[in-house]
Amino acid sequence: MGVIGIHCAPYDGGDNMAGQISAAEGAILKGADTVSATRDDLKARIAAVESQMAAIGSNWTGPAATAFHALMARWNEEANKVNNALVQFEDNLRSAQRDYDVADQEQESTFAKLASRLG
């Protein structure tokens, strides 16, 4: 496998931005895998915090308990939003890789046809 990385040339202000971004072999999938691993780590950390907070919250009663549980519910909603954003980001990266692969195969096929015509 080739070098992993994404190259972004600075925009020079001209009208043509084509070719300004290129992905080295495997960079997009590596990014998706990194997002996936980060999401898994985040989920584990969130579960640990939830467990610790549940233990703390179980000792409270009355209005303090109600406020605490409302806060935890809100925190869980926000944590789920972050997780969902990471899922979407990973899906987008994997989809981009599929599109990139299809375009690459189409170009390869086109060049092979042209080469065969040249003899």
Mind listing the pLDDT tens digit of every residue in the chain (119 residues)?
333 454 444 545 555 444 445 667 789 999 999 999 999 999 999 999 999 999 988 888 999 999 999 999 999 999 999 999 999 999 999 999 999 989 989 999 999 999 999 87
Domain assignment of residue 41, yes or no: yes
Domain assignment of residue 78, yes or no: yes
Q: Taking the C-alpha atoms of 18, 19, 23 and 25 in order, what is their torsion angle to the nearest 10 degrees?
A: 130
Q: What are phi and psi of 78, to 5 degrees?
A: -65, -40
**Residue 52 sits in which domain range?**
27-118
**Which secondary structure element, helix H or strand E, spans residue 23, and what is its range?**
strand 21-23
Domain assignment of residue 10, yes or no: no
Q: What CATH number does residue 91 fall under?
A: 1.10.287.1060
pTM of this structure = 0.69
Residue type, 13: G
